[in-house]
Amino acid sequence: MIGPDTAGIAERLDAAAGTATAIPQLAVETGLDVDAAYAVQTALLQRRIDRGERLVGLKMGLTSRAKMAQVGVDEVIWGRLTDAMRVPDGGVVDVGDHIHPRVEPEVAFLLDRLPEPGEPVGDFTDAVRAVAPALEVIDSRYANFTFSLPDVVADNTSAAAFVVGPWCPVPDGLDNLGVLLEVDGRVAQVGSTAAILGDPRRALDEGIRLAGRHGVRLRSGWVFLAGAATAAVPLRPGAHVRAVVEKLGTASLRAS
């Protein structure tokens, strides 16, 4: 039996992102299952690499109940980050480059000495050199931000842009830090890092395990986005957005 057209699906998703034009969901039409969807994600990222982008990290998606409920998909997923997606702290995101962007507060890790594939993270401070507050801009390439699990995996888990705040030493506990998402100085979402799989450190084990299933190994020096602590909110032109994470500080962006 002939499988889904991996390259063709990656090309459609790439064009949707490049032209900021939503497309219909494609998993049912193309017979895409989750494994095939990760193969599409690989092909999609290869197109970016062929254009000169560089892989700089990995992101976890749907690591909290709030996020799962928001999009109606209840499995932890992972995607890839490139240098072109990174926006400096306090930098500008052009809403016009995206379809219907949303923004969410995250915790970022700077990866260091990682375990061998198949091994759990032993000492977290060996594996993670520093932590930071972060913002992720997500932008599903599917109409109405509506998708199935294979759809969103193929679409690189809606990754669009990310901001990492100042790196700081790993604090004693990461499992119950207060998180605020502020838009124009007003609190838009309130959460706790406990919402990220109970403890964001768990997200790293999950990332290593789940990406390893598809032959992807995390690298020293990569950024790891552990997941959002709250639901995402729409990113509107002119908005000033800040993630505030207790003990870690803030990360911000401005939307134009």
| Residues forming the site for Mg ion (CB under 5 A) | 136, 228
To ligand 0L1, the closest distance from the beta carbon of 62 in angstroms equals: 5
To Mg ion, the closest distance from the beta carbon of 42 in angstroms equals: 19
Taking CB under 6 A as the criterion, which residues in 103-142 touch ligand 0L1? 136, 138, 140
* 189 binds ligand 0L1, rule: CB under 6 A: no
34-50 vs 6-19: helix crossing angle, rounded to 10 = 60
Instruction: State which residue, 127 or 135, has the beta carbon closest to ligand 0L1.
Output: 135
Cα–Cα distances in angstroms (integers) from residue 80 to residues 24, 177, 190, in the given order: 22, 25, 26
**Rounded CA gap, 236 and 254, in Å?**
9
Taking CB under 6 A as the criterion, which residues in 207-236 touch ligand 0L1? 228, 232
Cα–Cα distances in angstroms (integers) from residue 61 to residues 66, 68, 231, in the given order: 11, 9, 11
Instruction: State which residue, 125 or 144, has the beta carbon closest to ligand 0L1.
Output: 144
Residue pair 154/9 in contact by the 8 Å Cβ criterion: yes
Cα–Cα distances in angstroms (integers) from residue 40 to residues 12, 33, 157, 192, in the given order: 11, 10, 12, 33
Q: Of residues 152, 163, 216, 243, which one binds ligand 0L1 by CB under 6 A?
A: 152
Residue 49: count of CB within 10 angstroms of its CB: 12
Residue nearest Mg ion (C-beta atom)? 136
* 197 binds ligand 0L1, rule: CB under 6 A: no
Binding site for ligand 0L1 (CB under 6 A): 59, 61-62, 67, 71, 136, 138, 140, 152, 157-158, 228, 232
